[in-house]
Chain A
Amino acid sequence: MTVPNPFDLQPKDSEGLVFREPWEAQAFALAVSLHQSGLFAWDEWAAALAEEIKSAQQAGDPDLGNTYYTHWLRALEKMVARKAAVKGECIAERAEEWRDAYLQTPHGEAVELVRK
């Protein structure tokens, strides 16, 4: 059984995948895009990400590179909450709506969000 990939552009390099999963690339692109449109400066982002990595390490994450985009996403969520008023609760709620959409979409069809 295969899960259709909502994002099929898994980047590779000579050593294999640079992103382990498509969501990592998507999270990467979101931050670059928001920076490009002026929501935050790049060094502001670098500082937020470094802070997130630091607190994860203090909480016991061995930080071997495989959790990098988890930190990236967490930092991005906080940044967006501050700068664009998109709150964590909204993201969690929307994530559940997406989950329902997947579950209600016949396999092989495009998954679309149907707002209630």
Chain B
Amino acid sequence: MPHDGHDHTDPPDDLALRVKALESLLVEKGLVDPAALDVIIDTYENKVGPRNGAQVVARAWTDPKYKQLLLTDATAAIAELNYVGRQGEHMVCVENTKDVHNLVVCTLCSCYPWPVLGLPPSWYKSAPYRSRAVSDPRGVLKEFGTELDEDVEIRVWDSTSEVRYLVLPEKPDGAENMPEDALTNLVTRNSMIGVEKASAPGTGGAL
């Protein structure tokens, strides 16, 4: 693409150059394969992503046996749908009910169940969310437009490098007779972090 007569390419900024530098050094040492990097990014962004988590939730909504497994051994339940990954090895699933609402955070850094939820949104990684999810969960939920009755208990789960949490949102009213693949559209990433509820049928839903 022609531009202002200079026969060069504008270099990226310093951090990008450092990443490029690091990558090329590691490739030369045989420690990294550039094609493998592309596969990793593709996997986390396109194949993994929140759709995997939505499928897990939709299955649990329609199959009581699967739900039982998910709540007792989430790692195995998720592996059953072939979603396994190095950051999601030990998963715990916590169920929202009319009396209990669960919220997931990582106060230490930003541990996140990548294989089922893709890459973490930037608010999840921010210091305000990390601290306020613990000190003022009701206020945080309100900012996401999630109003809960006063008598609903909020449980906050702090992720670690060993344990990752997935929220099983409540199945919304009106979704009783929907098939599993239609249900996945109601399961947003945010509902699986616990900052929102699953979308009501007919409201557009996830993505």
Q: Which residues of B contact A21 (CB under 8 A)?
A: 16
| B 1-40 to A, binary, CB cutoff 8 A, 1 in contact else 0 | 1111011111110111111111111100101110011101
**Nearest CB in chain A to that of B40: its residue:** A29
Are A33 and B18 interface neighbours, CB within 8 A?
no
CA distance A30 to B39 in the complex (A): 11
Q: Identify which of A13, A93, A103 contacts B9 (C-beta below 8 A).
A: A103
Are A34 and B26 interface neighbours, CB within 8 A?
yes
Are B9 and A2 interface neighbours, CB within 8 A?
no
Are A104 and B40 interface neighbours, CB within 8 A?
no
Are B22 and A46 interface neighbours, CB within 8 A?
no
Q: What number of A residues sit within 8 Å (CB to CB) of B?
A: 72
Are A80 and B26 interface neighbours, CB within 8 A?
yes
CA distance A29 to B11 in the complex (A): 21
A78 CB, nearest partner CB in chain B, Å = 11
**Nearest CB in chain A to that of B45: its residue:** A11
A81 CB, nearest partner CB in chain B, Å = 10
**Nearest CB in chain B to that of A43: its residue:** B161
**With A86-B26, A107-B9, A111-B9 as given contacts, are A33 and B33 in contact (CB-CB < 8 Å)?**
yes
B86 CB, nearest partner CB in chain A, Å = 6
Q: What number of B residues sit within 8 Å (CB to CB) of A?
A: 62
Instruction: Decide yes or no whether B113 CB sits under 8 A from chain A.
Output: no
Are B9 and A106 interface neighbours, CB within 8 A?
yes
Are B40 and A32 interface neighbours, CB within 8 A?
yes
Q: Which residues of B contact A70 (CB under 8 A)?
A: 15
Are A91 and B38 interface neighbours, CB within 8 A?
no
CA distance A94 to B19 in the complex (A): 10
Are B31 and A11 interface neighbours, CB within 8 A?
no
Are B12 and A23 interface neighbours, CB within 8 A?
yes
CA distance A9 to B156 in the complex (A): 34
Are B25 and A91 interface neighbours, CB within 8 A?
yes
Are B44 and A102 interface neighbours, CB within 8 A?
no
A90 CB, nearest partner CB in chain B, Å = 6
CA distance A65 to B7 in the complex (A): 37
Q: Identify which of B16, B17, B50 contacts A22 (C-beta below 8 A).
A: B16
Instruction: Decide yes or no whether A26 CB sits under 8 A from chain B.
Output: yes
Are B118 and A26 interface neighbours, CB within 8 A?
no
The 5 closest A-B pairs by CB, nearest first: A11-B45, A94-B21, A46-B161, A102-B11, A65-B126
Give 11 CB contacts A-B under 8 Å: A6-B16, A13-B118, A23-B19, A29-B37, A34-B31, A69-B15, A94-B21, A99-B11, A106-B7, A106-B9, A113-B24
Q: Which residues of B contact A (CB under 8 A)?
A: 1-4, 6-12, 14-26, 29, 31-33, 36-38, 40-42, 44-46, 49-50, 86-87, 108-111, 118-128, 161-162, 188-189, 206-207
